[in-house]
Structure 1
Amino acid sequence: MVSFDTNEGSTTAIIVDYFAGDMLTGAIESLLAEGVKRVVVVDNSETKASMRTRYYRQERVDFIFAERNLGYGAAVNLALVGVDTPFVIVSNPDIMVARGAVGKLIELAQDPRVGVVGPEILDGAGVRYPSFRRFPSFVDSIGHGMLGQFFPNNRFSAHYRLTGCHPVEPVEVPWVSGAFFLTRTEVIRSLAGFDPAYFMYCEDIDLCYRANRRGFVVVFQPEATVHHAQGESSKLRATRSLYHHHRSMWIYAARHEESTATQWLGFFGLILRFLVLISRNKFQRMRLSASQADKSY
């Protein structure tokens, strides 16, 4: 096996952009500073010239403009075709990579047993995000799905999110967040990339699940850190994001849950959860509008 003492020239980063604006600049610059050979931005938005003019002379940055919004996984797959480096990073556009993070991930990814490596993800305030979790069981899915939005510390969510588990050294985990991870190019290609059935959400769970089934391990590397603004693009389409989240949860259950009865229970549970959250969001918007109207008098 070839050993890479440095990540210089050994890694391609794929960023899927959807109206991330100036945050995309930070993601690109932080990745270039880490020595990646090339950053490929797949623009899923309608703003075809959004950032291209800023980087048109930068040989290490390429843009692919999708004819329509392909979704996260399908956009990554589109860029994956042209990757010619042994390692590939998949990244959200609202990420800032800490110095040395890519090298730490590559060190682990060189192990032929390792399929995917994920870093410690911190939000904009520096608070630890649940960067790795268990595969969702039926019980945890129902409990977390129904209670997580209202009682985030409930036992189902805590079990699923592995709350309180904060490793200080690399450890094997079920799956890591698709907001940012590194894998060997040969591994993700052997898995045929992301399943394009997932428009957004759950494609990372599915990829890691399939990697596990193929005999690869998924590793969390706490010594590598990235900062994530979390869901800035999704905030633009809150209702649409909710729809795709629930749709992807159903696809995952249908793909990997063997019991038909359990699948249907999950289906109706997801519909109920979707309706509850839509109603809650509508109520919150009405309260906000009423509050703003009161202030105008």
Structure 2
Amino acid sequence: MPELVDIDSKIIVVDNCSKDNSCEEIRRWIDSEQVQGQVEVVASPVNGGFSAGNNVGIKAVRAKYYLLLNSDTLVRKNAFKTLLSVAEQNPQAGLFSPRLEWPDATPQESCFRFHSPVSELINAACTGIVSRLLRNFVVAHPVRMEPDYYHWTSFACVLIRAEVLESIGLMDEGYFMYFEDSEFCYRAAAAGWKVMNVPDAHVVHLRGGSSPVKSQARLRKRLPRYFYESRARFFYQLYGKSGLLAANVLWIFGTLISQSRRIILPHKPRSVIEKQWRDIWVNFNKPLKPYIHPDDYDKT
């Protein structure tokens, strides 16, 4: 709230059909702080996922800029003002992201190239020489200290011009979670908008507050079905059915490279996530099929 004192703004808190009474608790806080005109809670009757939740908030207010902010973030001093200042000075860009960092200020990778079939090979191979040979296809960019343009950026925190939404529409609600930020940036780029990272604006991203995907991946445990549904949708939308097939085939090839290394170096930890061999084919025949929630791998 203090960050917004000098900014003509309104905070929309979207409750994505939570079951813990948090919606009422936030409303009580709003009443106790007497900030009814500055903060509004909008309750969604269903948990439609990340895109749907953000769309609920966007549709609740008319603005020049929309700042999407995850629930697992902490905003550093002057971050909002810095983003707005850079946006005003760079009309050619439509999306602006801050430097995401850990609580100790260590920066996080938050700017990326678009996923591609080749990047699936790189990720599955987990082999330095493959990553170096195909470095122009590695998804994550190294952290930079200067403003720059990227294919896409994390939507843990992002400032979007209203003109971008007017020209390409809202976020794709066919994604429950994951890949939706990349797909939105792809549509923005196709419409002529640039994606700019502003490292002088700092936002802490605690990660894992909304989804277990990252923690499950670290433990090599099976990922939620919605991750693979989003993956199939993304590759199909950007590259067509042949691109989705290529992504799966190259992932298998990369995994064979990784497994071959384990034969030579048995002390190496396994890189394949549980049942990923099967799960990459989720929704292959119907990649635009709406997500299934909660997780149920037996549904088709």
Q: How many matched pairs?
A: 246
User: Residue 106 of structure 1 aligns with which residue?
Assistant: 84
* Structure 2 Cα separation of the partners of residues 265 and 194 of structure 1: 26
Shift of residue 135, structure 1, vs aligned partner: 0.8
What are the Cα deviations for residues 196-252 of structure 1, in whole angstroms up to 9, with x where unaligned?
111111111011111100011110111111001101231399689632222111111
Change (3 A) 1:175 1:50: same
Q: Does the 8 Å CA contact 1:34/1:100 hold for their aligned counterparts?
A: no
User: Residue 252 of structure 1 aligns with which residue?
Assistant: 234
The normalised TM-score by structure 1 is 0.72
User: Residue 274 of structure 2 aligns with which residue?
Assistant: 278
- Written as runs of structure 1 = structure 2, the 5 A alignment for 1:23-38 is 29=1, 32=4, 35=7, 37-38=9-10
Q: Does the 8 Å CA contact 1:142/1:269 hold for their aligned counterparts?
A: yes
* Structure 2 Cα separation of the partners of residues 193 and 30 of structure 1: 29
Change (3 A) 1:226 1:142: same
User: Residue 292 of structure 2 aligns with which residue?
Assistant: none
Shift of residue 78, structure 1, vs aligned partner: 1.6
User: Residue 98 of structure 2 aligns with which residue?
Assistant: 119
**Greater Cα shift, 208-217 or 94-103:** 94-103
1:97 to 75, 86, 89: 75
* Structure 1 Cα separation of the partners of residues 2 and 129 of structure 2: 34
* Structure 1 Cα separation of the partners of residues 44 and 14 of structure 2: 7
Shift of residue 102, structure 1, vs aligned partner: 1.2
User: Residue 155 of structure 1 aligns with which residue?
Assistant: 131
1:242 to 209, 216, 224: 224
* Structure 1 Cα separation of the partners of residues 180 and 164 of structure 2: 16
SS at 2:138 equivalent: helix
Q: Any gaps of 5 or more consecutive residues in structure 1?
A: 1-28, 281-297
User: Residue 133 of structure 1 aligns with which residue?
Assistant: 112
1:190 to 142, 167, 187: 167
* Structure 2 Cα separation of the partners of residues 225 and 199 of structure 1: 27
Q: Any gaps of 5 or more consecutive residues in structure 2?
A: 256-271, 277-300
Shift of residue 269, structure 1, vs aligned partner: 7.0
**Greater Cα shift, 57-66 or 231-240:** 231-240
1:174 to 131, 144, 151: 151
**Greater Cα shift, 222-231 or 56-65:** 56-65
What are the Cα deviations for residues 128-163 of structure 1, in whole angstroms up to 9, with x where unaligned?
21110111121112321x246xx7997279752445
What are the Cα deviations for residues 139-191 of structure 1, in whole angstroms up to 9, with x where unaligned?
112321x246xx7997279752445x333221111111011000112212322
Change (3 A) 1:103 1:32: closer
User: Residue 65 of structure 2 aligns with which residue?
Assistant: 87
| Residue identity opposite 1:49 in structure 2 | E
**Greater Cα shift, 31-40 or 68-77:** 31-40
The normalised TM-score by structure 2 is 0.72
User: Residue 78 of structure 1 aligns with which residue?
Assistant: 56
Change (3 A) 1:85 1:142: same
* Structure 1 Cα separation of the partners of residues 7 and 129 of structure 2: 39
Q: Does the 8 Å CA contact 1:30/1:97 hold for their aligned counterparts?
A: no
- Written as runs of structure 1 = structure 2, the 5 A alignment for 1:2-17 is none
| Residue identity opposite 1:119 in structure 2 | P
| Residue identity opposite 1:246 in structure 2 | Y
Q: Does the 8 Å CA contact 2:167/2:191 hold for their aligned counterparts?
A: no
**Greater Cα shift, 209-218 or 152-161:** 152-161
* Structure 2 Cα separation of the partners of residues 174 and 228 of structure 1: 20
**Greater Cα shift, 202-211 or 187-196:** 187-196
